Amino acid sequence: MSYSGFGGKLFDVLNYVLLAVIAVLTLYPFWDSLIISMTPLNENLSTNVHLFPRSITLEAYRYLLNLDQLWSSYMVSIFVTVAGTIISMTATTLAAYALSKKELPGGRVVMFAIVFTMMFGGGIIPNFLVVKQLGMLNTVWAMMIPTAIQTYNLILMRSFFVSIPESLEESAKIDGCNDFGLLFRIVVPLSMPAIATVSLFYAVSKWNEFFTAVMYITDKDLWPLQLFLRSMLLENEAAFQSGGDSPFLLGQSIKMATIMVSAIPVMMIYPFFQRYFVQGITLGAVKE
């Protein structure tokens, strides 16, 4: 066996071991949350390390799933995620396609202004005043319109569009295709990896919508899931510390159950987009 061959195999072994350790460290918090959510309170208090449940109870999940507010907030989050992702992808795709054209008048100035917003923003109060003046307070649109375009996602899409050969578009123009035809018949079908990746970014962002809901939503009927779960955690903590007789005395179990209820839908969707994820990021990183 040559030294180079042995060194290569040793590197592979060490690489796999390192990746396995990283995977365990990454997955353990999720596993720990799952175990605690199904473990009785007295067992949770007896140890800080939870590898396997000694007994299982679903009381925390039963309590959560019987709350009407949970399902109402679920519907709000689903609507915000679906509608918000569609709005964001439409706006981002149109803007990125326009900015990818070198012949666009003032394109560099507009792109500089967009990148500038990644470093400097107007602040919370100006944003709140704008949303208020637009009449979007206590509406689901407040969680979608102000954050419709995220700068990083726009840059990613633009970079991908720039990497598409101009000869394809020139051939389509010769055949009489207009700008919208170029975008939806040529560019979009070739950009599905990037579109799927950015869609996942937007969907996860909308599903985890919290800060804008805290700022703009006071009506409990319009609370997204994350805001409802925050309320649940705060009430649970207060009830647990007071020591009163309350369903919230499920303690850590209900805390972790709320985390699982929030995380599982995203985890169910992610595998369908995973094959596009790395491809979309790497192709979108092609430089001009």
pLDDT at 248: 46
pLDDT tens for residues 27-86?
888 888 888 888 776 655 555 656 676 777 788 888 888 888 888 888 999 999 999 999
Average pLDDT over residues 165-194: 81
pLDDT at 281 over 80: no
Decide if 202 contacts 85 (C-beta within 8 A): yes
Q: What are phi and psi of 170, to 5 degrees?
A: -65, -40
pLDDT at 198 over 70: yes
pLDDT at 240: 57
What integer best gives the mean pLDDT of the chain? 80
Distance, in Å, from the CA atom of 82 to the CA atom of 88, rounded to the nearest integer, reads 10
Please report which confidence band the pLDDT of residue 120 belongs to, taking 50, 70 and 90 as the band edges: confident
pLDDT at 283: 53
Average pLDDT over residues 138-160: 89
Distance, in Å, from the CA atom of 96 to the CA atom of 183, rounded to the nearest integer, reads 11
Q: Name, in order, each residue with C-beta under 8 angstroms of 28's C-beta and a sequence gap of 6 or more.
A: none
pLDDT at 287 over 50: no
pLDDT at 286: 46
pLDDT tens for residues 94-109?
999 888 888 888 888 8
pLDDT at 20 over 90: yes
